[in-house]
């Protein structure tokens, strides 16, 4: 009686030990697989971070060389003599290959009725942009005088167009007001003077849709 029972117990214990060992082995394999997966995920993350870093470095390099993000140096002093019939155009900095490069001044032949506007650098969208120089119409640098008071009498079917100041031969000249026939659906927009590039420019009056 004891011997068969002992054998049965021994077999059961041995079987449980084998099953437990197999279960632990499978659990160890599963943990190892998870560790391998984590290691692979970390490697993927590192590779992605490196790609992003290289991309950022490339963008920074393009940013640094594409447009200047610092103001240009102070303009250099250039000695020059006045030449009859010519205008001295001062030198200035340009942006080339990721750095400021100085361009020397030169003489330009005068253009009657025009003046030379020097180039300048302006901050736009966080970067400096060069506004090239050029010839612009010679005009007044001071605002026009106060508009004169005019006496007028209303006319049926007409609109009174106020007088205004105009720039004629280097001086302010008053242009008197007058009546204009009405235009159905339109209103008269008076002329005005606007400051542009250091010079006052006239914006002509016109009929505009109501």
Q: What is the pLDDT of residues 118-170, one digit of tens each?
A: 899 999 999 999 999 988 777 888 899 999 999 999 999 999 999 999 998 78
Summarize the confidence of residues 22-32 as an average pLDDT: 65
For the stretch 103-120, pLDDT in tens is 999 999 988 778 888 899
Q: Output the pLDDT for position 61.
A: 44
For the stretch 35-93, pLDDT in tens is 777 677 777 666 766 665 564 454 444 455 678 999 999 999 999 999 999 999 999 99
Burial readout 20-30 (b: 16 or more C-beta within 10 A, e: otherwise): eeeeeeeeeee
Q: Output the pLDDT for position 60.
A: 43
Q: Output the pLDDT for position 114.
A: 82
Cβ distance 203 to 193 under 8 Å? yes
Q: Output the pLDDT for position 198.
A: 79
Query: Could you tell me the end-to-end alpha-carbon distance of the chain, in angstroms, rounded to an integer?
Result: 119
Q: Output the pLDDT for position 7.
A: 64
Map out the domains of the chain as residue ranges.
1-66, 86-137, 158-209
Summarize the confidence of residues 188-207 as an average pLDDT: 90
Q: Output the pLDDT for position 8.
A: 63
Q: Output the pLDDT for position 67.
A: 85
Q: Strand pairing partners for 189?
A: 206
Q: Strand pairing partners for 123?
A: 128
Query: Tokens standing for 144?
Result: 């026009």
Q: Can you tell me the distance from the alpha carbon of 48 to that of 40, in angstroms, rounded to the nearest whole number?
A: 12
Q: Output the pLDDT for position 58.
A: 45
């Amino acid at each position: 009686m004891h011997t068969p029972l002992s054998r049965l117990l021994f077999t059961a214990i041995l079987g449980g030990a084998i099953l437990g060992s197999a279960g632990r082995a499978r659990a160890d394999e599963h943990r190892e697989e998870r560790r391998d997966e984590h290691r692979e995920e970390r490697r993927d993350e590192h590779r992605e971070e490196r790609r992003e870093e290289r991309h950022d470095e490339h963008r920074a390099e393009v940013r640094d060389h594409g447009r200047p993000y610092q103001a240009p140096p102070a303009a250099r002093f250039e000695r020059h003599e006045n030449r009859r019939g010519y205008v001295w155009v001062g030198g200035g900095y340009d942006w080339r290959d990721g750095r400021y490069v100085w361009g020397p001044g030169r003489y330009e032949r005068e253009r009657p009725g025009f003046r030379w506007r020097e180039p300048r650098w302006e901050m736009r969208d966080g970067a400096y942009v060069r506004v090239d120089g050029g010839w612009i119409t010679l005009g007044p640098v001071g605002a026009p005088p106060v508009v004169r008071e005019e006496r007028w009498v209303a006319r049926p079917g007409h609109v009174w167009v106020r007088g205004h100041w105009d720039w004629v031969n280097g001086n302010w000249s008053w242009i008197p007001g007058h009546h204009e026939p009405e235009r159905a659906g339109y209103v008269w927009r008076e002329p005005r003077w606007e400051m542009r590039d250091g010079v006052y420019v006239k914006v002509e009056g016109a009929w505009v849709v109501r």
